[in-house]
Structure 1
Amino acid sequence: MRLRSLTVVFISCLIAFFSWVFTPSALALTPIKLFDISYKDCPPELAKGAVISSGSAAANCFIVIGKAENTTNKTVYDADIFGRIYDANNDSVMQNRTRLGLITEVPPGISDFELRISVPASQPTPLKLKQFKASGFSAQVRK
């Protein structure tokens, strides 16, 4: 009986040890600061035939541009971009939606990013870009 108890304890300790040694590091979200945010019209080849998600109305195509700052010493992957976009009348351009897109890779330091958006042609410009931020992972999530 005592030998069986010691065997169970020994095997439990081995399982715990190997689980601890071979567990991959956690994929925590890493915040990315976005700044110098502005926008420009899409080039004609991207803007041609732009429609909004309902598919029924014409839309204007814009490229949101800015800087992304990764303060870690590792590349951040799959950084989701969040923000709010309003038209000239302070009406939301992306109803009930704050996730606007993705930056595939953000190297350490400051880098440029851009994001294509479609805005219903009925919404007046200039656009107002607010509360932009991003967060991604310290390792690739998708393979």
Structure 2
Amino acid sequence: MLIRTFITFAVAIVVSMSTGLFAPAALAITPIPLTEVGYKDCPAEMAKGAVTSGGVTQGAACFLIIGKAENKSGKTVYDADVFGRIYDADNNNVLPNRGRVGLIEQVPPGINDFEMRVTVPESARQPLQLKKFKASGFTTKIRQ
């Protein structure tokens, strides 16, 4: 009898979801294309810091990743995670094991300027190469 009740309940949920009678709140990820992605040195007041990896502390270089973020959703997007790869002049990945490089807190509808701070090892030779940058976020705040 318990199995029959469970099966009936499961079928009722599937039917109600497919007919729209029951629709869970959806947090759809909204893609944010990034264009004109570049970088510049951090202002002196932001430039202090160090990079740690595996317990070893090394000197750091601070940069601002800059560019244009296009929000086509018609709603403000919040907490847009930025993903990409950063290579030095010798084609070494300066942030290995990290696809996520930062966050854009708010992207209003349309094309917007963005900038975010990144810290890379001081040994990374310039010019840096920024590849495969993209972002995605949510049309409702998910972090308080």
Structure 1 segments, 4+ long, off by >2 Å, are: 20-25
| Residue correspondences, number | 126
Could you tell me which residue of structure 2 aligns to residue 103 of structure 1? 104
- What is the identity, as a one-letter code, of the residue corresponding to 2:116? L
Could you tell me which residue of structure 2 aligns to residue 46 of structure 1? 46
Q: Distance in 2 between matches of 1:47 and 1:94?
A: 17
Larger Rg: 1
Alpha-carbon displacement from aligned partner over 1:80-112 (angstroms, at most 9, x marks no partner): 000000000000010111100111111100111
**Percent of aligned pairs with the same residue?**
58
Structure 2, unaligned runs of 5 or more: 1-11
Could you tell me which residue of structure 2 aligns to residue 61 of structure 1? 62
Q: Distance in 1 between matches of 2:52 and 2:133?
A: 22
**TM-score of the two chains, using structure 2 as the length reference:** 0.80
Alpha-carbon displacement from aligned partner over 1:35-76 (angstroms, at most 9, x marks no partner): 10110001111113x211336111111111011000111111
SS at the partner of 1:26?
A: coil
Instruction: Note closer, same or farther for the CA distance 1:22–1:75 as it changes in structure 2 (3 Å cut).
Output: farther
Q: Distance in 1 between matches of 2:143 and 2:58?
A: 34
**TM-score of the two chains, using structure 1 as the length reference:** 0.81
Over aligned residues, Cα RMSD in angstroms?
A: 1.9
Q: Distance in 1 between matches of 2:52 and 2:78?
A: 27
Structure 1, unaligned runs of 5 or more: 1-11
